[in-house]
């Protein structure tokens, strides 16, 4: 059962486009902010070992932005020049009536104000929602998948069901969605599965991106035991595959290669071994309306207060401009035996992946 159009409809006052005269977002380093990632919920139906503690305490509903507020907030950023919008979580597709928000935001695709509306998901809800996403103009999704082994999948996600995720990936493929598999490389856990993942994904026509674990949030384990430098992974892969650097970009921080033997693309997201901040065009908003100008810094701006203070967007635009004026040059991530505490205390599930 999917969310019908009548469920929790989003009311808005018409098309919003950059033609309104809202100032574009240029940070202190001359980078234009054109990519917004929005966490629509901090809740998730998994408890991945590198992302959450198993006994998570989630936010009270009154602190979380309503779907109408999320729509208004996203629309304000689109008005100020955002061309790519990604919905994240937690797990975005477990948010009640999430499809009503996605349907509403799709009006910006129809108007041409927005180039791309995408979703990052764990895949658990795709079997029922993939076709709805495609019908709303979503063309590409990221699916977080760290292993193809059912037992290991259960160990990593704690609560996840690999069979359900694979069913969802098939449904997304059948709906015509392009899929990128996001795999967090974890030392001693799934590093031996990187080659099988590549071969499987490329055979299915999916891209793969490998991600280094990041020091975000207190978890039950020790990240120094999980951290696997992708420089080492790439060197190992080069012994087996012919990899050529390519200029392909999706708007995010991944650097891509093409693998001759499989014909597929492989991306590397390396916040630890290779800081990718020099070209950052992204900001993130939490489900409570906190704007983070950098994933790896604590500096933030409260957008919920100006959002709720007025029906107009003047206060909201002013708050956004002030925050973008403070966007830092980059993050300061460190993982080592001396720095056991996370660089940032908030969990990835709170900030949005």
242 annotated ligand binder: no
86 annotated ligand binder: yes
Tokens of 183: 């795999």
pTM here? 0.85
Strands ordered across the beta sheet of 207-212 = 243-246, 255-259, 265-269, 207-212, 178-185, 140-144, 116-121, 84-88, 35-39, 282-285, 290-292, 300-302
Tokens of 163: 């069979």
153-166 per-position pLDDT tens digit: 999 999 999 999 99
210-255 per-position pLDDT tens digit: 998 865 445 455 545 678 889 999 999 999 999 999 999 887 788 9
pLDDT band at 351 (very low <50, low <70, confident <90, very high): low
214 annotated ligand binder: yes
HSE-CB at 143 with a 13 A cutoff on CA atoms is 30
pLDDT higher than 50, residue 335: no
CA triplet 138, 142, 147: central angle to 5 degrees?
150
51 annotated ligand binder: yes
Of residues 14 and 82, the one with the higher pLDDT is 82
d(CA 300, CA 326): 9
pLDDT band at 20 (very low <50, low <70, confident <90, very high): low
Strand, helix or coil for residue 226 = helix
304 annotated ligand binder: no
Domain containing residue 126 = 23-351
Residue 4: inside a domain: no
48 annotated ligand binder: yes
pLDDT band at 123 (very low <50, low <70, confident <90, very high): very high
Give the domain CATH number at 257: 3.20.20.70
DSSP string, 48-88: -TTT--SS--PPPGGGSPPHHHHHHHHHHHHHTT--EEEEE
Residue 292: inside a domain: yes
Nearest to 136 by CA among 93, 100, 167, 179: 100
Residue 189: inside a domain: yes
- Within a 10 A sphere around the Cβ of 106, how many other Cβ atoms? 17
Residue 131: inside a domain: yes
294 annotated ligand binder: yes
74 annotated ligand binder: no
168-212 per-position pLDDT tens digit: 999 999 999 999 999 999 888 899 999 999 999 999 999 999 998
Residue 135: inside a domain: yes
Would you call the peptide bond into 90 cis, given omega within 30 degrees of 0 as the criterion? yes
Domains identified in the chain, total number = 1
Q: Which helix (H) or strand (E) holds 303?
A: none
284 annotated ligand binder: yes
């Amino acid at each position: 059962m999917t969310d019908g159009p009548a469920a929790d409809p989003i009311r808005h006052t018409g098309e919003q486009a950059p033609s309104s005269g809202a100032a574009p977002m240029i940070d202190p380093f001359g980078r234009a902010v054109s990519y917004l990632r929005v966490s629509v919920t901090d809740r998730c139906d998994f408890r991945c070992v590198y992302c959450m503690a198993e006994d998570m305490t989630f936010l009270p509903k009154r602190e979380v932005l309503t779907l109408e507020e999320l729509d208004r907030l996203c629309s304000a950023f689109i008005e100020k020049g955002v061309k790519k919008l990604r919905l994240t979580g937690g797990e975005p597709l477990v948010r009640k009536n999430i499809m009503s928000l996605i349907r509403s935001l799709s009006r910006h695709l129809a108007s041409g104000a927005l180039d791309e509306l995408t979703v990052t998901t764990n895949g658990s809800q795709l079997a029922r929602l993939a076709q709805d996403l495609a019908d709303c103009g979503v063309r590409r999704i990221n699916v977080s998948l760290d292993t193809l082994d059912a037992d290991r999948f259960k160990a990593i996600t704690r609560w996840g069901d690999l069979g359900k995720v694979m069913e969802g990936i098939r449904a997304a493929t059948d709906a015509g969605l392009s899929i990128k598999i996001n795999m967090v490389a974890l030392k001693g856990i799934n590093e031996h599965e990187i080659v099988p993942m590549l071969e499987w994904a490329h055979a299915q026509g999916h891209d793969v991106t490998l991600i280094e674990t990041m020091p975000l949030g207190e978890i039950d384990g020790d990240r120094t035991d999980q951290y696997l430098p992708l420089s080492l992974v790439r060197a190992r892969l080069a012994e087996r595959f012919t990899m050529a650097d390519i200029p392909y970009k999706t708007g995010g921080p991944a650097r891509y290669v093409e693998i001759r033997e499989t014909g597929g693309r492989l991306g590397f997201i390396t916040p630890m071994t290779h800081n990718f901040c020099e070209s950052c065009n992204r900001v993130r908003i939490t489900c409570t309306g906190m704007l983070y100008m950098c994933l790896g810094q604590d500096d933030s701006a409260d957008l919920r207060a100006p959002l709720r203070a007025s029906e107009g967007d003047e206060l909201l635009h002013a708050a956004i401009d002030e925050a973008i004026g403070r966007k830092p040059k980059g993050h300061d991530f460190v993982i080592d035996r001396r720095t056991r505490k996370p660089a940032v205390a908030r969990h990835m599930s709170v900030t949005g992946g």
